[in-house]
Amino acid sequence: MIKQLFENREFLIGILLLTVILSASFINTQFFKQDLDNISKEEYLANKPSPPSLEHPFGTSQGGIDLFDQILSHTFPTIKMALFITVGRMAVSLILGFLYGLQYKKLKWMDLFIEGFHFVPATLLAFLLLYGLNFMNFEFFMENPDFRWYFIAFTLIAIGIPTLMQLIGRETNLVLQNEFIDSAKILGGNRIHILLKHVVPSLRGKLFLIFSSQLIAVLTLMMHVSILGYFIPGWTAFIGSNYYELMLSPWIIFFPVLLFALLIISLTLIANGFRNTLEGEYYSRRSTFLESSTTYSLPFRKKDISI
């Protein structure tokens, strides 16, 4: 499986692109990052943004700060926050989804309520839930600087749980319809045994695809939420807090958006490569089975003809 993945062109290009982004961020942050401690407040206000040049390929932002350094320094915070939200969604949804799938006949009525989440934009739902932050005490934020980030992160986690739980529950229910599940029940397997030994291995590939699609959706949602004013650490906060520069100094927005798009493209290529490899493995197994059945049937046909 791993060998086939690295033979897939889309997966290989996605991995290489993601590696380049992460490596450039790590190397620049550790060895070539601009020293900002020596910049005084007067110098910061005096140095205006400048367009891209040979000295500063991405240009500079307010204070004469090199934009290339700023963007790369926000790479890991962006990915960490996206992974935190995605893993949180998956962890909760896996538990609820498996329970939902095991008891699907009894809990099927919940589909009526969950279907509503498919028609409400996640950005609008996030905005309505986060709007309550505007009515909280500002001094509370100053005393608890991490509260805002955790509140936003857990809100974005909660938004994706209903639909994700339903998806995992339905996939679990489909696996439980297979004949080998009936055989496992006849042999005395309980629900926990069937879940761990049969359902989870059968859904392993699909769960990875669900995780990758959720990671891309979370990154997009982080961007939308930051533009609405609820800044999330990383590229999204940088873009959201500087979007007004689009008409004045467009390079300040262009290059972060470009790298953000490259990150999403790399993740999409990785997911597509994994999906194509998974489907190719299924069809190869299917063709092998058909060839073997044909091979066994041919001698009997020849024997019948000779008789």
Q: What is the pLDDT of residues 231-284, one digit of tens each?
A: 787 888 888 878 777 777 888 888 888 888 999 999 999 888 888 887 665 444
**Are 199 and 172 spatial neighbours (Cβ–Cβ below 8 Å)?**
yes
Q: How far is CA 292 from CA 148, 238, 265, 287, 297, in A?
A: 61, 58, 40, 9, 9
Q: Which comes out higher in pLDDT, residue 50 or 265?
A: 265
Domain ranges of the chain: 77-233
Find all residues with CB under 8 Å of 84, minimum gap 6, and list them. 153
What's the confidence (pLDDT) of residue 297? 39
Look over the chain and give the mean of its residue pLDDT values, rounded to a whole number. Answer: 78
Q: What share of the chain is helix, strand, coil (3-state, %, to 5)?
A: 80, 0, 20
**Are 86 and 214 spatial neighbours (Cβ–Cβ below 8 Å)?**
yes
Tokens of 141: 């934020």
List the end-to-end C-alpha distance of the chain, in Å, as a whole number.
46
Which single residue is written with the structure tokens 């498919």? Answer: 118
